[in-house]
A = this chain, B = another copy of it.
Amino acid sequence: MADPQQMEAAVHEYVAAFEAGDADRIGALYAEHATVEDPVGSPLKNGRTEILEFYRSSVATGAKLKLEGPVRVVADYAVFPFSVNLHWEGSDKRIDVIDTFRFDADGKVTEMRAFWGPANMHGFS
């Protein structure tokens, strides 16, 4: 199982990589055959290539992440509340999200699920 400190560090690296606008740094956190479900209920991104493409689009929006509470770490999971903040079409937007990261034994994320819905979007008209 991944080390708890390593799992928590991955979350902070995720936030820092968005701050730097560096999709490759984000992709490096994932295992080769990982899946990303963002938001939950949408089609999965399967594997490193699709995941990288997804994050290239994400960082291109200029979105920054802000942790909104402590990272919860248990078993092979790190789970954390955060906000996505972006300036888009002339106004500030915020989305309140909780992500679950599941890790493999090498400390790579194998499954990411992002929980946010319409009621969590603020500043969108």
Contact = CB atoms under 8 A, between A and B. Distances in A.
Which DSSP category, helix, strand, loop or mixed, fits chain A's interface? Answer: mixed
A40 B77 contact: yes
A62 interface: no
Interface residues of A, number: 27
A118 B29 CA distance: 24
A100 B77 CA distance: 13
- Pick from A8, A69, A76, A79 the residue with the most CB of B within 10 Å: A79
A116 interface: yes
Interface string A86-115: 000000000011101000000000000001
A41 B103 CA distance: 13
